[in-house]
Amino acid sequence: MAHPCTATKVLPALPLLGSALLSDGELDAIFDEIWRGRAEGGIRRDKERIGTGIKSVDEALGGGVRKGKGGLVAISGEKGVGKMGLSLCLLTTSLLSSPKPNSYAAIIDITGNLDPILLYNIILSRLQADPSLSPLVAGETLEDAATKVLERVSIMRVFDLEGVIEAVGEVRDGLEMKAKATMPTIEPISQPSEIVPRSVEVVKEAPKKIPKTEIADSEDEDEDMLFESAPTSQHQAPSIPSPSQPAPDSEPRQPEPAKTPDIPSPSAEGKTEFILIDNLAHVLNPLLKNDHVQANTLLTHLLTTLSHLTRTHNLITILLNPASAPRPVPSSQQVQQRPSPSIFSSVPVIPSLTLLDRYVDLHVLVSKLPWREIDAKLRYDGDSGRRGRNVEMV
């Protein structure tokens, strides 16, 4: 007896997430490559913006920092948060964004903490990621290209506010001298020469001799002398044309067309396009304690000069500024604390020089955040010491 066929039940396919097909490392590599192409393309399309090469930061800045109007930027943060590294990334992009090596940078180092090796490594890593940023010549390596880029950075070590002002003045003089050297010279339009009338000979009559029997009048002598001098001056009319005047019988020359001034070719030396100052608070805080009014006056003059210099010469100027947590106010004192400049409640730090906000075009506050969720719990719950685990910050 044949058994009836049993129907096989088909179950629906289980959904498969895309994240299961690729690991986190592969996804990060894909996104980084896509973003790098977008970032480099954006740099080539928008020459007025300089990016950092860091995806999240460039997105927050709208593609980067704008040159000229909008180029005076303050970067504040606690020690070790990476504000120097962020500034050097902007500097590297500025040096590599030009097709020719005509972009220079000036670093005014006040603290003495600048590490040229760090800057060299940032340049080298950027060239390794995209060698087309600095085409190599025959027999040249990426290390050689990075060294050539680093040679376009001028480092000025100063120790006080007067040295900062002198360094800024030196950069300004170099920019103004460069601007005067590249200005086109316009030749004046030659004007048509005036027609010189023909010289007419004047026949001078012989003076009438006075008989000896008559006494000469003094007034008559004066009149004779007057009439004698006038024809003489007329007789000495120019008969030989000067080189700038046409001959008497020649036709007047037509005015020559105005010459178009030649556009000067960019100099091989280039010009400074990036200024980094680290940091003004190091020399201003002692002055603020001694004479608050004079220190604010000097800082106002310096910031006004930097703002004018940045906009006039289409620069990017970065001012590094430390930040620290506010001091706790005793409960007995009724003092209203300043609100935190950050929208994140976990960032209590306040920039040191508050006067910068009046003059800078952009103020960036850099801080560290926990890397993972477990780090955040350990950070904000205060259990890192009990569990024996260090909190990873980024």
The pTM score is 0.65
Q: Select from 346, 349, 300, 303 the least CA-distant residue to 323.
A: 349
pLDDT of residue 193: 53
DSSP string, 285-343: HHHHHH-HHHHHHHHHHHHHHHHHHHHHTT-EEEEEEEEEPPPPPPTTS--PPPPPSSS
Please tell me the distance from the alpha carbon of residue 134 to that of residue 49, in angstroms, as a whole number: 19
User: What is the structure's pLDDT at 194?
Assistant: 54
Pick from 274, 313, 58: which is nearest to 180 by CA?
313
Query: By C-alpha distance, which of 44, 49, 113 is closest to 85?
Result: 113
pLDDT the model gives residue 313: 93
Q: Classify residue 25 by burial, with Cβ atoms within 10 Å: 0-12, 13-18, 19+.
A: exposed
pLDDT value for 121:
95
> Which phi and psi (to 5°) does residue 272 adopt?
-75, 130
| Beta-sheet pairing, 72-77 with 362-366 | parallel
Which 8-state DSSP code applies to residue 254?
P
End-to-end CA distance of the chain: 75
- Residue ranges per structural domain of the chain: 37-181+268-327+339-387
Phi, psi of 248 (to 5 degrees): -60, -40
d(CA 159, CA 174): 22
pLDDT at 21: 76
Name, in order, each residue with C-beta under 8 angstroms of 175's C-beta and a sequence gap of 6 or more.
271, 272, 309, 313
Place of tokens 């106010």: 329
Under CATH, domain 37-181+268-327+339-387 is a member of which superfamily? P-loop containing nucleotide triphosphate hydrolases (3.40.50.300)
CB within 8 A of 185, min separation 6: which ones?
Answer: 261
CB 121 within 8 A of CB 171: no
Q: What is the pLDDT of residue 209?
A: 56
pLDDT tens per residue across all 394 residues of the chain? 555 556 677 777 777 776 677 777 777 777 777 766 655 555 444 567 888 888 888 888 888 899 988 899 999 998 888 899 999 999 999 998 865 567 899 999 999 989 999 999 999 999 998 888 877 777 789 999 999 999 999 999 999 999 999 999 999 999 998 888 776 655 555 555 555 555 555 555 555 555 555 555 555 555 555 455 544 444 454 444 444 455 445 455 555 544 433 433 334 467 899 999 998 999 999 998 888 899 999 999 999 999 999 999 999 999 999 998 877 666 666 556 666 667 777 777 888 888 898 999 999 998 887 777 776 777 666 655 455 457 666 6
pLDDT at residue number 53: 86
Helix ranges restricted to H, 182-322: 218-235, 281-290, 292-312
Euclidean distance between CA atoms 168 and 162, whole angstroms: 10
pLDDT score, position 181: 78
Distance CA 216, CA 258 (A): 64
